[in-house]
Structure formats: structure tokens, C-alpha cells
Structure 1
């Protein structure tokens, strides 16, 4: 072996020795998942981000159609505030998913100009993509949840399905 190849060979051997302990299957897998490490995921704009949008509540169109494998939900959406019986255009909902519940929060297009009468507003159908299977989680109306604008309404139980 020539004297010029000895330093290169020594460097390769040193590199192999230093990295031999790296890359065990336990190290590559990363830390074991824990209950505390799972974080909520969201989709859709945050409530209140859209200029002029009004809060809306929802109910399930067909409670009997839900299963653990359900990935989308048919709902009926109604504007909370007075708007002469019109809910308006239903905007993309904010969907917050965690281990125990899926919170769906709707808003609708701005209300009509001027004075409005206060009969109940119409129900607008909407299909919500849950982003994943429902599993055993509770469906919650975000506008009816504690601190939501509809919390005090007598018809507003935030749990829509358990």
C-alpha cells in the first residue's frame, strides 16, 4: 500500500467506526408517539377572519348516516342573526380536529343591507369534508361552543353527534 493511500484509508475506517452505532432501527423511528404529542389539525379560514361574514349554526341533515368510517357530513346551515329569512351563501367552514372531537364552525355571506325582519332563516345544505374518518369523536358546532356567539341560544347544544 502506498503512503499516499494510507491517510484516505484511515479516514474511511474512522468514518465507518464513528457511524457504526448510528442508524439503528430504534433511532430511525424517532420518539415513540404519545397521547400528549398529538396536536389538533385544522382546515378552512379561522372564524372572524372574513370581512363582513356572519356566524351560522348547523345541524346534521341525517344523523343515521354517520359511522366511524364517515369522512364527510351532510349538514344544514342557518345564519344566526336576523336577515329577513335568508341565510345567504354558506362559506367554507373552519374544521378543527383533535383526538376527541371535530369542531365545525360556519360563517355565511354578509347580511342584506338595511333593516331585516327576524323570522328564522332558511336552512342551506352543505357537505363538510372532515379531512379524515370521524372515528369515535364528537361532532361540535363551534358557534354553539362555550364562548361562541350562539352559546346562549336555547336550541344550541354544541354537540351534534356523539
Structure 2
């Protein structure tokens, strides 16, 4: 089993302070079809420590799974991208593009990673950015609409 540890520097993405934006900006929900990145291939994630998450949490353990067919192999997880506003933390996970070839679709393995937030989750929901894609939204990866945790 492969475990990756990812430390996130969140200040640049506006995630250094939990809760509403101190500048008074209005929080908006993600819209299907609006990507926050195009790096790597899309992966989905689930919380491996969901029962442990509280508004004070700064550590998220995610299980990342490649969405496209890859003969059961998720592969290397790239550094997650995070965007925050006063209502949610949107996390996009991507994986390295595999070598060209024909791949079967038995379902890909889950790769655990740990994300260290510089500030607590607060009263924001955790949202999987893979569910912003209309095609992915209609899959089993997004049966919860992309919301992985609510305060």
C-alpha cells in the first residue's frame, strides 16, 4: 500500500482563516463544469477519517481513486489543489497520466494521502472538485453531490 503525505500551504489560496472572508466577499457554491485545475487526470476522494472530523480539524486523511479506466491502478497522486470560501473547502485531487495503452475498467485502487491544513476546517463543508464535472457528477463517485463532510 502506498501512502503519500501532502502538506498544504493554504494562505495563497485564501484558506488561512476559517469562516467568512474577512474582506466581506460573498461565498459561492461550485458550479458543475467549472474546473479549478487541469493538471493530471481527474481523481475522486473520500474521507478516511470522516468520523474524526470536527470544526477544529486540520488533518484530513483522503482515499484517492482515479476515475478513468487504468486496469485497477490509480497511480501517483499529485499535490491536491484547494480553494476556500466562507462556506466550503473545495479539494481537487489529480493523478499522473498513465502511459498510452489499452486499459480495462475493473475499478481502480484507492491511494491514501494526508492533507495538513494550516487552519481548521471551521464551519465549512468539504467538497470534492471532481463532482464539478457534469460527467463525473452522474457517476457513483458523486452520489453525495460532491459534499464529503458537513459541519
TM-score clears 0.5 = yes
Aligned length: 120
Residue number among 153, 157, 160 corresponding to 2:139 in the alignment? 153
1:47–1:106 CA contact under 8 A, matched in 2: no
The answer as to whether partners of 1:47 and 1:107 remain within 8 angstroms in 2 is no
More relative contact order, 1 or 2 (CA 8 Å, 6+ apart): 2
**2:91 maps to which residue?**
104
> What is the TM-score normalised by the length of structure 2?
0.72
Give the Cα separation in 2 of the matches to 1:122 and 1:143: 17
Give 1:155 shift. Answer: 3.6
**Aligned partner of 2:55 among 68, 88, 103:** 68
Return the alpha-carbon distance in structure 1 between the equivalents of residues 56 and 136 of structure 2.
29
Does the residue aligned with 1:127 lie in a helix, a strand or coil? Answer: strand
* CA drift at 1:152: 1.5
Q: Give 1:132 shift.
A: 1.4
Of the two, which has the highest radius of gyration? 1
Compute the RMSD of aligned alpha carbons.
2.1
Query: Normalising to structure 1: TM-score of the pair?
Result: 0.68
Unaligned ranges ≥5, structure 1: 1-32, 39-45
Q: CA deviation at 1:35?
A: 3.0
Query: 1:1-162 maps to which residues of 2 (within 5 A)?
Result: 35-36=24-25, 47-48=37-38, 50=39, 53-145=40-132, 147=133, 149-156=135-142, 157=144, 158-162=146-150
Higher helix share: 1
8 A Cα contact 2:90 2:129, kept in partner = yes
